[in-house]
């Protein structure tokens, strides 16, 4: 694969990353997230497949960085999506979906019980 020089440096640095600091001390200003609002933004987020110009035979799947930045306001640029931010959005959306499904299952069971009583 023949990559432009600027991309090679970024990719080499990125390959060295093994983890992200997520424990309490390095963070500043943690804020709660409304999972249901975030879930709506995920549902509205355009997702597409695409290839890098330097590697046209390899397809990728995901949102464009500009759309992700506009929807969630995360990261330091609208030109890239940090894996930590993408994973965080996905985890919060999964939690919100789980709460919705659990609530709906309880409602269905309640309705079934009421129908069984009639």
Predicted confidence pLDDT, tens digits, the chain (118 residues): 454 444 444 444 555 555 666 666 667 888 899 999 999 999 999 999 999 999 999 999 999 999 999 999 999 999 999 999 999 999 999 999 999 999 999 999 999 999 987 6
b/e for 1-15, b at 16 or more Cβ within 10 A? eeeeeeeeeeeeeee
- The pTM for the full model equals 0.75
Classify residue 47 by burial, with Cβ atoms within 10 Å: 0-12, 13-18, 19+.
Answer: exposed
Q: What pLDDT, on a 0 to 100 scale, did the predictor assign at position 9?
A: 46
| Residue among 89, 47, 42 at smallest CA distance from 64 | 47
Q: What is residue 88's three-state secondary structure?
A: helix
Indicate the angle between helix axes 35-44 and 65-72, nearest 10 degrees.
150
Q: Residue 100 CB: number of other CB atoms within 10 A?
A: 13
In what helix (H) or strand (E) does residue 52 lie, and over which residues does it extend? strand 48-52
Q: What pLDDT, on a 0 to 100 scale, did the predictor assign at position 30?
A: 86
Q: What pLDDT, on a 0 to 100 scale, did the predictor assign at position 115?
A: 92
Q: What pLDDT, on a 0 to 100 scale, did the predictor assign at position 49?
A: 97
Q: What pLDDT, on a 0 to 100 scale, did the predictor assign at position 29?
A: 83
Q: Which two tokens stand for residue 29?
A: 């200003």
């Amino acid at each position: 694969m023949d990559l432009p020089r600027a991309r090679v440096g970024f990719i080499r640095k990125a390959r060295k990353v093994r983890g992200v600091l997520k424990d309490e001390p390095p963070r500043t200003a943690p804020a709660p997230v409304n999972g249901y609002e975030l879930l709506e933004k995920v549902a509205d987020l355009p997702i597409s497949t695409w290839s890098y110009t330097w590697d046209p035979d390899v397809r990728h799947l995901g949102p464009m960085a500009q759309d992700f930045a506009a929807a969630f306001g995360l990261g330091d640029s609208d030109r890239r999506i940090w894996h930590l931010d993408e994973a965080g959005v996905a985890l919060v959306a999964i939690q919100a979906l789980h709460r919705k499904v659990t609530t709906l299952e309880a409602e269905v069971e309640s309705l079934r019980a009421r129908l069984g009583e009639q």
